Structure 1
Amino acid sequence: MDSSELVELLSSEGLNLLDSLAPWKSTDDVLAAVSTLRKAGHSPALVAAALSQSKLRAKAVGKFGPFASRMLFTEAGLEQATRLQVAALHAGRFQSAGLTSIADLGSGIGGDAMAIAALDLAVTAVELDEVTAAIAAYNLAPFDNATVLNADVTAVDTSDFDGLYLDPARRTAGHSNTSRITDPADYSPTLDFAFALAGSKPTGIKLGPGIDRDLIPVEAEAQWVSVDRDVVELGLWFGAVARPGIRRSALVIGAHGTAELSADADSEDAETGTIGEYLYEPDGAVIRARLIGDLARRVDARMLSTGIAYLTSDTLVTTPFASAFRVSDVLPYDERTLRKELARRGIGSLEIKKRGVDVDPAALRRKLQLKGKASATLFVTRVAGRHTALLAERV
């Protein structure tokens, strides 16, 4: 979306048209919708912009729930936007610290700023891109305690704010067909700039969960967050918005609610041992936070092999920090043997998981020639240094 399309969309005609569209379902109906809207007298540019927004709103429901139906987006802005339930937790840190005036530097479409404003904190959302800043202003319009500034965050005077929040851009410029930036030196603003600000006042910095851990400042609280088993971010917290004594944490959000595993440092690995009746696959946030050893001790489990994030136990302990499986068979990792064993069991649907071995699950699935109505999970990993296949079922 360019600025001219946005101007059309933000007109009364454009917004009324957008709100009148039926919820987006698939691309199958696009041609018919375009034809109908064009016959109604709407311009091609407005029709394209409205339909694109309708599609983005449908995609945004996973992050913003019912609020998505009254928001505007860009493709890149939606991709990087914080899920509303996670943004609420970010905002809660500033509120708990007694801060009242927050600068959201690099606000994107305004997701985090919305959550901050909803807690009655004054927030200034700063966004360099003109179109994205206009969209943030639209999304924040219901809050009279929110201001949007179209500016370069590196040029903003932050001295009057109590706290700072940064979400450095990790995608190439543009509003569609963007790609991820992998080098932190190319983030906007750079990590060096963000960390320098963090030394001046309470600050939160949102980063991708796979960032090099060596870049994490020693004074930061590092919290990896997963939603429905998908690791969505690494949050770094400094000053009053960081919690005393915590340097590593895994926040797990799902149907169970919210649960957290935290420590003052990476945990020591648990002892390795023989395969028990149950296998645990730790949540990705626990793995990223390197708290696997603490989790193992919590559920009275042992590690299958040194350096591999699978745990095993003789008893079942329910935990939000791992998925549990009942092990039915332990087999040598041999494709011919596996094919015969799976055929004998009539397994036609197979979930394949692997750690510590060079296996392509898609290629392996084809070679196994699965047939039957039964289902199972296959773990391919190392046990006591040997490649091993574990046939299991989810608990």
Structure 2
Amino acid sequence: MHAPTGSEPDPVSVFRALLTDEGRHLLEELRSYDPGRELAVATRLRRDHPAELVSAALGQARLRQRAAAKFGPEDAGRMYFTPDGVEQATRASVAAHRAGRFAALGVRRLADLCCGVGGDAIALARAGIHVLAVDRSPLTCEVARANAEALGLADRVEVRCADVTEVDTDGFDAVFADPARRGGRGRIFDPEAYSPPLSWAVAAARRAPYAALKVAPGIPHEAVPEDAAAEWISDGGDVKEAVLWFGVPPGVRATLLPGPHTLASAGLPDPPVGPVGRYLYEPDGAVIRAHLVAEVAERVGGRLIDPTIAYVTSDDLRPVPYASAYEITDVLPFNVKRLRALLREREVGTVTVKKRGSAVEPEDLRRKLKPSGPNAVTVFLTRVAGAPTTLLGRPVP
């Protein structure tokens, strides 16, 4: 039997090597990293640097490129990441919004539990809040600490490697918790299967003057504690997360970034249902998740086209930031042949397909339509008063 020749390198030691002068020099060389030339670049760098360090630097360069969409190229180009950290970190604009809310509440010391690579801790520190950032992964803590240092925030961010369930948060103005919502099999939808479970996070939140818990945007409304305020947040039209706030008046709201534009529940009944008018309003996803379509309908003087569909229609144009407006030109029973003939007659070559309440796949329909011509149209596949219907229109500038 042969003796073992070695073991897997320690991830923390490999990461720390990136923080040395040699590691920083390598990362600087890779600032304009081109994935298509990775083999040639790796071969060249390995002539002068240890292969393990080159591999780590190349991996970090790839992660920085992925992170630019969340953190912006300037911050991402200075920060450090893990694969899970890039995937799970809060988008910088969302973190800044939340940090601003904490600062407005007068929070000065906050415990960030399950801090990951430090995305929220960075935003909180930039808002003037002193942060204790806690995570149980030694590597993740090293990365979070390096990020605070790289962005000049080390004096406001203390990173501690510990089990968050054992951290004493007494004396802090607020708690922020972001339980892990991914496991070995992908996304976790049961809040009690989060790590740590949502029930533990809620108990920790209730012990602090203020708290916010980041949860999946698909959380059922019935899972929201009665003493919590629930906020659904979208950025650029994409729903990013839901947050449960404690220490503030209970309620439901949707926040749209950039802006922010915040729509709060007024406890309105369901809107009336009626025929399709001249304009169609498509509520933002955060508005729909927060069950605030009635609030949008009231603001635009509108009605639903179907009791089960979140499209609002009105005869008047009343622009609001909470919904995209379209001018409707045609209302047709769903029929592919008739639709194709109409688009050919109008020389439509660019078709944007949206659907709500339809089993038809947009790509399948687009292939069947074979659009050709200089004009553009938006096609809505939906139901009107229960009947499969096609609406044609164009966005209102």
Please give the TM-score of this superposition, normalised by the length of structure 2: 0.91
User: How many pairs were matched up?
Assistant: 382
Q: Distance in 1 between matches of 2:31 and 2:131?
A: 33
SS in 2 for 1:316: coil
Match runs of 1:1-395 below 5 Å: 2-25=11-34, 27-39=35-47, 41-65=48-72, 66-141=74-149, 142-143=152-153, 144-172=155-183, 179-201=186-208, 202-239=210-247, 242=248, 244=249, 247-254=251-258, 257-263=259-265, 265=267, 267-395=268-396
Q: Which residue of 1 aligns with 2:5?
A: none
Gapped regions of structure 1 (runs ≥ 5) = none
1:207-265 deviations in Å (ceiling 9; x for gaps): 121122221111111111111001111011001xx2x3x511110113xx221111254
Amino acid at match of 1:53: Q
Gapped regions of structure 2 (runs ≥ 5) = 1-9
SS in 2 for 1:70: coil
Contact 1:249 1:289 in 2 (8 A): yes
Amino acid at match of 1:84: A
CA shift, 1:335, in A, is 1.6
CA shift, 1:386, in A, is 0.8
Deviates more, 1:223-232 or 1:156-165: 156-165
Amino acid at match of 1:20: E
Q: Distance in 2 between matches of 1:386 and 1:209?
A: 30
SS in 2 for 1:393: strand
Contact 1:281 1:324 in 2 (8 A): yes
1:110-169 deviations in Å (ceiling 9; x for gaps): 111112222332210001111111100111122212110111101111223221000111
Distance 1:74 1:165, change over 3 A: same
Contact 2:31 2:77 in 1 (8 A): no
Contact 1:106 1:125 in 2 (8 A): yes
SS in 1 for 2:186: coil
1:67-103 deviations in Å (ceiling 9; x for gaps): 1111101121122211222212222233222232210
Contact 1:357 1:381 in 2 (8 A): yes
Q: Please tell me the root mean square deviation across aligned C-alpha atoms, in Å.
A: 1.8
SS in 2 for 1:56: helix
Amino acid at match of 2:60: Q
Q: Distance in 2 between matches of 1:44 and 1:179?
A: 32
Distance 1:343 1:44, change over 3 A: farther
1:334-355 deviations in Å (ceiling 9; x for gaps): 1221222222222222111111
SS in 1 for 2:187: coil
Contact 2:93 2:257 in 1 (8 A): no
Contact 1:14 1:46 in 2 (8 A): yes
Amino acid at match of 1:262: A
Contact 2:266 2:295 in 1 (8 A): no
